[in-house]
Amino acid sequence: MKKIFLTIGLLVAAITLNAQLRAFMIQGPEKALPGIQKISIMKFQNSGISNYNYWYQDAYGDNFPNYMTTDLLNEDRGAIKFGKAYKPDVKMNQFIVVERSQLDNIIKEQQLGASGAVDDNEAAQVGKLLGLDAIISGSYKYTNAGDKAETKAIKNKEGAVTRYVTTYTRTVIVEATMKIIAVETGQIIAVTTKTRTMTDKKSNAIKSKAAAALTSVEILRDNGIKAVAGDLTNFIAPTFRLINYDLEKIKVKAFKDRAKDAVDAAKDGDVAQALGIYQAIFKEDSYNARLAYNLGLTYEAVLDYDNAIKMHKTATGIDDDKQYNAALERAETGKETVAALKAQGWKIDAGDVSAADGQTISAEVVETIKTKGGTKDRVKVYTEPMKQGKVAAQVPGGIELEVTGKEGPFIKVKLVNGSEGYIHQDDTK
């Protein structure tokens, strides 16, 4: 399978503090788990203990499954509160997670783990008794790298030392390895290792005060476990990721006010209203690259990637801008990510969005022609197959139009807004 899960989080639009459109997109997991929906997570083994058994009292080993279960049951995972950002109606808690207490009861009934860790085959057998698709096991270790002190002389303008300041740094490293075992076959279907380095620094002119102010090793260790547990969850489950978009300014005088209304709606988190306005304007000005780009962004926000791709292709066809091409790549990746999650059994519905005239914008592969000239040129499209007829639109040169028929030297084409007209063959490449 093509590795697409992480790229959507990397191919982001320009992020600014004043972005007009904020939306939570879906960042896919690192590993696809088709057919896996019902799972349970075992206590993680402390790999630093030589005589370990499953029932060894280890609060930190317990914390890994506890933190991961909490994450997996959070339907809004990753959707932090951030102003009026738009969030699609998609739930992130689509795994069925069996409580570890039920898992431990079965392990106890089967008299497992007393003399050591529960091995993969035993874990798979326990999973079968619970009706699981997969069972997750893991091990962890942490390292206290100790405290390091560095003393620096503070000088005045004349270069004379006025005082000394000591900075203490405390570092704790947490590492965990997770295995996902298919219950039906007992095979390990995925393994991953995640590491987090937790650091705290404190400075003071009095060394003892700097050292005393450091966050305790225990807190750094627990924070590291929580962070690693989140990374392990991201390995198997999607999460929301906040994306900030800068909408392009529409310069056409006739549409400036309505375009501003769309921006205001987007800022207020009303993406549906912004989308409706852009759709209406696009019907009247279908060959405006900025408008097509903005419309593509709003389609992305509601996860309607088919229409987003169509609009970004329109924008790049008119203006081969780097930003428009990046948006197209991001939308294509988003479509692949959603398709992969659906194949895994996740319920993800794109926004029920249609064009202003009620017709869904199509992205079919059809016969096309390319208009003559460059993007600054304009080619006339007539309502009838004659040059004396009424001009239906003037489209940029160098763009592709769908062919729907031919009449003599005129080619009947479909415009981006869904209407049709005739273009003379001399005006095509």
Residue 196 and residue 268 share a domain: no
Residue 298 and residue 208 share a domain: no
Cα 360 to Cα 213: distance, rounded to the nearest angstrom: 61
Residue 200: pLDDT over 50: yes
Angle at 401 (CA atoms; ends 396, 406), nearest 5 degrees: 120
**Higher-confidence position of 58 and 190:** 190
Q: φ, ψ for residue 325 (rounded to 5)?
A: -65, -35
Give the Cβ contact number of residue 386 at 10 Å.
Answer: 13
Under the banding of pLDDT at 50, 70 and 90, the label for residue 213 is very high
CATH number at residue 266: 1.25.40.10
Residue 19: pLDDT over 90: no
Residue 190 and residue 278 share a domain: no
Residue 12: pLDDT over 90: no
Q: φ, ψ for residue 291 (rounded to 5)?
A: -65, -45
* Residue at 400 is within a domain: yes
Q: Quote the pLDDT of residue 366.
A: 61
Residue 292: pLDDT over 70: yes
- Which of 352, 341, 346, 262 lies closest to 307, judged by CA? 352
Domain extent at residue 129:
29-237
Q: Quote the pLDDT of residue 2.
A: 44
Q: Quote the pLDDT of residue 87.
A: 87
Residue 305 and residue 162 share a domain: no
Residue 223 and residue 106 share a domain: yes
Question: pLDDT by residue (tens digit) across 149-162?
Answer: 999 998 888 888 88
Residue 222 and residue 161 share a domain: yes
Residue 167: pLDDT over 80: yes
Under the banding of pLDDT at 50, 70 and 90, the label for residue 146 is confident
Question: pLDDT by residue (tens digit) across 89-140?
Answer: 888 999 999 988 898 888 888 877 666 677 888 888 888 999 999 999 999 9
Tell the residue number behind the tokens 């002190």, with chain if given.
Answer: 149
Specify the pTM: 0.76
Cα 146 to Cα 150: distance, rounded to the nearest angstrom: 13
SS3 395: strand
CATH number at residue 399: 2.30.30.40
Average pLDDT for 182-190? 93
Cα 50 to Cα 52: distance, rounded to the nearest angstrom: 6
Give the Cβ contact number of residue 94 at 10 Å.
Answer: 17
* Residue at 23 is within a domain: no
Under the banding of pLDDT at 50, 70 and 90, the label for residue 54 is confident
Q: Which of 237, 270, 287 is the last residue of a domain?
A: 237
Average pLDDT for 273-279? 92
Task: Identify the helix (H) or strand (E) that includes residue 382.
Answer: strand 378-382
Cα 205 to Cα 185: distance, rounded to the nearest angstrom: 62
Average pLDDT for 69-96? 87
* Residue at 166 is within a domain: yes
* Residue at 362 is within a domain: no
Residue 3: pLDDT over 70: no
Cβ-proximal residues to 208 (8 Å cutoff; 6+ apart), any chain: none
Q: Quote the pLDDT of residue 220.
A: 96
* Residue at 5 is within a domain: no
Residue 145 and residue 61 share a domain: yes
Cα 283 to Cα 397: distance, rounded to the nearest angstrom: 19
Residue 296 and residue 409 share a domain: no
Q: Quote the pLDDT of residue 114.
A: 60
Mean pLDDT of the chain, nearest integer: 86
Residue 283 and residue 224 share a domain: no
Cβ–Cβ under 8 Å, residues 117 and 52 = yes
Residue type, 299: Y
Under the banding of pLDDT at 50, 70 and 90, the label for residue 412 is very high
Residue type, 229: A
Structure tokens at 207: 């060394």
Residue 354: pLDDT over 50: no
Q: Quote the pLDDT of residue 113.
A: 62
Q: Which of 184, 210, 237 is the last residue of a domain?
A: 237
Residue 336 and residue 379 share a domain: no
Would strands 400-407 and 368-370 be described as parallel, antiparallel, or unpaired?
Answer: antiparallel
* Residue at 210 is within a domain: yes
- Which of 270, 319, 312, 317 lies closest to 295, judged by CA? 312
CATH number at residue 165: 3.40.50
Portion of the chain with pLDDT greater than 90, in percent:
48
Structure tokens at 276: 């409706």
Residue 353: pLDDT over 50: no
Q: Quote the pLDDT of residue 416.
A: 77
- Under DSSP, the state recorded for 427 is G
Q: Quote the pLDDT of residue 60.
A: 87
Average pLDDT for 177-184? 95
Give the Cβ contact number of residue 425 at 10 Å.
Answer: 12
Residue 357: pLDDT over 50: no
Please provide the distance, in angstroms rounded to a whole number, between the alpha carbons at the two ends of the chain: 39
Residue 55: pLDDT over 80: no
Average pLDDT for 38-66? 85
- Which of 262, 271, 239, 141 lies closest to 194, judged by CA? 141
Q: Which of 237, 266, 294 is the last residue of a domain?
A: 237
Residue 216 and residue 142 share a domain: yes
Q: How many domains does the chain have?
A: 3
* Residue at 21 is within a domain: no
Q: Quote the pLDDT of residue 137.
A: 92
- Write down how long the chain is: 429
Cα 335 to Cα 313: distance, rounded to the nearest angstrom: 14
Residue 95 and residue 166 share a domain: yes
Under the banding of pLDDT at 50, 70 and 90, the label for residue 82 is low
* Residue at 373 is within a domain: yes
Residue 27: pLDDT over 60: yes
Residue 8: pLDDT over 50: no
